[in-house]
Amino acid sequence: MKVAFFDNGNLGLLFCRLAQRLQERHDMEVYIICLSYKKAQFYEKRFGVKSLYTNINDHQRHQSGEEVIRNLEYKFDAFSLNKAIMLDRVLSEWNAVKAANFLTSFTYNLKKVIEQEDIDIIFGEITWAVEYISYYLMQYLGKHYYNPLNTSVIPGRLCFLNSYNDNSFIKNIESGNEVNEVVEGFMKDRMQININNQASFLKSKLPPNFVKRSKNLLFTYNKEDYRYALQLKLKILKKYAIRSQINAIKTSLFVNFKDIKDKYPNKKLALLALHVQPEATPDTVAPEFSNQLELARNISKNLPSDYLLLIKEHPNGIGSRAVHELLQFRNIPNSILLDPFESTNTFIKNIDVVFTIAGTISFEASLYGIHSFVFSDVYYNIFPYVTKVNNVKEIKQELSNREKLPKDELYQKNLSAYVKVYNNSFEGDIYDPFLKPKVLEEKNIINLEKTFVQFIRTIMERE
């Protein structure tokens, strides 16, 4: 079985370390898919991992690639080229013709290398247009694309999903008493769980934090890796992040955020957790709710009068949203825009209900016995505290229904759901090494090696 990892920014360095071990210790044919010729050369030279470079021409629409795109659109209702462009943080800012040329060229070349090398499985995220297309292309070719995803609230564990909105897991193990005890320990000690490992919000977007992370990496990466990673990061900074830095500073100066410490004793508190945009999660999983400003307004309209809506920017969204957009959120009736410096950990236990399109905060809130409403199909919908909503007008009735449910019974069902997530997860941590250098430590690489070997063997047995 031939396996490939999809290069995604600095995550490619982690994937290459893993691919190198799988190749050397388990006699596997492992590749890494790259959009950049320079990166492909670097990966091959540094790690000895063969790179599949998808040569792309954005000056001319590729006719064969366009034909493949049309086939995908006919076969999959959820797929479209325009959607792929709009969900991508970079391509959405390009000229539409250039973006379409880029993706048709990419699609043709990816199909070509997959068929030439006979790739069976691709592992990668589904956050960029090229990954989104790759997922559907692999389905179309009768092959596999899996998204290895950290389980968020279970430290050091990940699960494999075969789509971004699939709530079924790849392995299915009946829970035993030992696992129940482990998970119940997590539940009882949930106040100590690091629900949000983003240390700070606005501060993390400012230049001093960038310098600090760079210094951390200097002692984690091989020097050659570090230098290359830093060059990539500086390119991103030069092209996109400078504007983000300016927006972050403007936000801190001109937007009047508030905190909620004991200031609203007579109100029930509803939290709306915003997503970064554009991105696959809000823009493709639940496109009808992707206008988050309108979603916030509609939630406010449909909340009972004894509720106050708290609106919280995503940690990675600070600076990506213009000041005038944030001011529109602030002007929504019966709501407040929370201070982005304040960690969710400090107040989530005081929240009565959480709203999110597809954020893991609903998963996290369930540990506190807090009800949440999501607007898409996500794997943590299995939790009894998590309810999918198809229409914002359902909120009042759903809140009323939720309040009638027996708490003890809900807790036991929630524990069972948590056990299922634990049982369908594996050891290992996958994260951008630039943000979390510890993922490159030998212990984590060994855990990931065991996990991927076990998972790949499971897939081979099912073939």
What one-character DSSP code corresponds to residue 347? Answer: T
Question: Do 312 and 275 form a contact (C-beta atoms < 8 A)?
Answer: no
Instruction: Answer yes or no: is 451 within a domain.
Output: yes
Asked whether residue 47 falls in the same domain as residue 120, the answer is yes
Domain count, the chain: 3
- pLDDT score recorded for residue 120: 94
Look at 139-153, 170-184, 291-305, 442-456 and tell me which has the smallest mean pLDDT: 170-184
Range of the domain at 248: 202-252
Distance CA 397, CA 376 (A): 18
> What local confidence, expressed as pLDDT, does residue 354 receive?
95
Whether residue 120 is contained in a domain is answered as yes
pLDDT in tens, 44-101: 888 888 888 876 666 667 788 899 999 999 999 888 899 888 878 778 888 888 899 9
User: Looking at residue 199, what is its pLDDT?
Assistant: 35
**Do 261 and 150 belong to one domain?**
no
Q: In DSSP terms, which residues pair with 372 in a beta bridge?
A: 354, 386
Q: Which pLDDT score is estimated for 188?
A: 55
**Do 133 and 260 share a structural domain?**
no
- Read off the pLDDT of each residue in 1-25 and give the average, rounded to a whole number: 90
Q: Any residues with CB less than 8 A from the CB of 176 and at least 6 apart, and which?
A: none
123 forms beta bridges with: 5, 146
Confidence band of 336 (pLDDT split at 50, 70, 90): confident
259 and 248 in one domain?
A: no
Residue range 330-355: average pLDDT?
82
Residue 179 maps to a domain: no
Residue 149 reports pLDDT greater than 90: no
Give Cα 358 distance to the centre of its chain. Answer: 9
Give the pLDDT of residue 205.
Answer: 41
Q: Is 20 left (phi over 0), alpha (psi -120 to 50) or beta?
A: alpha
Does the residue 56 lie in any domain? yes
pLDDT above 80: residue 230: no
Flag whether pLDDT at 123 surpasses 80: yes
DSSP 163-207: STT----S------HHHHHHHHHHHHTGGGS-S-----SGGGGSH
- Same domain for 248 and 260, yes or no, is no
- pLDDT at site 169: 54
Q: What confidence tens digit (pLDDT) does each residue in 100-119 have?
A: 999 999 999 999 999 999 99
| pLDDT given at position 337 | 86
Verify that 27 and 103 share a domain, yes or no. yes
Looking at the fold, whether 273 and 407 belong to one and the same domain comes out as yes
**Residue 24 sits in the same domain as residue 166:** yes
Q: Does residue 374 register a pLDDT over 70?
A: yes
Hey, what are 391's tokens?
């229409």
Name the nearest CA neighbour of 147 among 171, 126, 165.
Answer: 126
Q: What is the CATH number of the domain that holds 301?
A: 3.40.50.2000
Residue 448: pLDDT over 90: yes
Q: Are residues 261 and 354 in the same domain?
A: yes
In a domain, 194, yes or no: no
Residues in the chain: 463
In a domain, 181, yes or no: no
Which tens digit of pLDDT belongs to each residue from 234-282? 554 444 455 555 665 556 555 555 656 556 668 899 999 998 876 767 7
Which of 235, 252, 269 is the endpoint of a domain?
252
- Tell me, yes or no, whether 18 and 148 share the same domain: yes
Q: Is residue 118 one of the residues assigned to a domain?
A: yes
DSSP 258: B
Domain harbouring 47, CATH code:
3.40.50
Mapping DSSP to helix (H, G, I), strand (E, B) and coil, where does residue 423 land?
Answer: helix
> pTM above the 0.75 mark?
yes
> Does 400 lie in the same domain as 261?
yes
Tell me, yes or no, whether 26 lies in a domain. Answer: yes
Residues 262 and 408 placed together within one structural domain of the fold: yes
